[in-house]
């Protein structure tokens, strides 16, 4: 029989609460919308324009990785996801953490890195003879930066504990939680920095393109949506500093890390 965490008696009504439907619906809407958007983009590029670029390949890989992360959410639903942590058995909590480990590797880190690289490759399509040199150099530098800190984030997960499975079994030697949070905050800060760059860098290029003022303003407005990601990154950092004590029920980091 599964052993449950020892503690004071809990309210049966509170213990019966299940946040899984809301969490899966919330994350599902974003993931499905993203998949539809990517699907339409590829249809236009391949079916109509007959031109598939490197940015398209990167966004497809990012979408598949994000889908893998959402599948991990669904699998975690069988092991306490959406329920209060105090009501989850030790065995389920271990499996929840095990699945979450790979979900973070695939989606939270991999998908996000591929998405940013796709954005950079797309922005490289915008050419202006007067500013092209510094613009392209900045974008390639950002691609290199994203690649480096994405690999660094993976290594943080792979090397945090010895053996690696101690991340979910809690049987082994791990670095301090304080160090792990420091690495996580560094990664979030770099993500915020690159989001600001991707939203801001193209503005002078777009403004100099030979198109109507309305079109230029609309295009800048679309790219400025990256500032929403900046705001979410700041909220995410707040939850990284103050870890959630009921992480199976709330999952703030995964929601704001979408």
CA distance 239 to 194: 20
Q: What pTM was estimated for this model as a whole? A: 0.87
Question: What is the arithmetic mean of pLDDT over 111-136?
Answer: 88
Confidence of residue 232 (pLDDT cuts 50, 70, 90): confident
Query: Domain-by-domain residue ranges, the chain?
Result: 18-256
CA distance 198 to 138: 10
Residue 252 clears pLDDT 70, i.e. is over it: no
At the second CATH level, the architecture of 18-256 is Up-down Bundle (1.20)
Q: Is 70 exposed, middle or buried (0-12, 13-18, 19+ CB in 10 A)?
A: buried
CA distance 180 to 255: 20
Question: What is the arithmetic mean of pLDDT over 189-202?
Answer: 93
CA distance 89 to 248: 12
Q: Where are the alpha helices (DSSP H) in 201-257?
A: 203-208, 213-223, 226-241, 247-250, 252-256
pLDDT of residue 256: 53
**Residue given tokens 């990154």 in the structure block:** 233
pLDDT of residue 127: 73
CA distance 20 to 225: 29
Q: Average the pLDDT over each of 149-158, 176-185, 196-205, 208-217 and give the range with the smallest value.
A: 208-217
């Amino acid at each position: 029989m599964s052993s449950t965490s020892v503690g004071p008696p809990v309210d049966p009504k509170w213990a019966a609460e299940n946040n899984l439907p809301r969490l899966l619906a919330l994350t599902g809407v974003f993931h499905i919308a993203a998949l539809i958007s990517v699907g339409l983009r590829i249809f236009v590029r391949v079916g109509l324009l007959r031109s598939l670029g490197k940015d398209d390949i990167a966004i497809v890989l990012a979408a598949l990785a994000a889908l893998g992360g959402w599948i991990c959410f669904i699998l975690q639903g069988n092991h306490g996801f959406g329920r209060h942590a105090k009501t989850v058995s030790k065995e389920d909590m271990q499996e929840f953490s095990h699945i979450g480990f790979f979900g973070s590797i695939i989606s939270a880190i991999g998908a996000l890195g591929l998405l940013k690289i796709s954005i950079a490759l797309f922005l490289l399509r915008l050419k202006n003879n007067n500013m092209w040199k510094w613009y392209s150099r900045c974008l390639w530098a950002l691609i290199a930066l994203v690649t480096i800190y994405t690999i660094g984030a993976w290594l943080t997960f792979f090397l945090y504990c010895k053996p690696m499975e101690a991340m979910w079994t809690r049987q082994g030697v791990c670095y301090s939680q304080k160090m792990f949070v420091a690495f996580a905050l560094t990664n979030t800060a770099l993500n915020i920095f690159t989001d600001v760059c991707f939203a801001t860098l193209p503005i002078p290029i777009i403004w100099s393109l030979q198109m109507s003022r309305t079109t230029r303003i609309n295009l800048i407005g679309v790219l400025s949506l990256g500032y929403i990601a900046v705001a979410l990154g700041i909220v995410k950092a707040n939850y990284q500093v103050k870890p959630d004590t009921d992480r199976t029920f709330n999952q703030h980091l995964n929601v704001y890390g979408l």
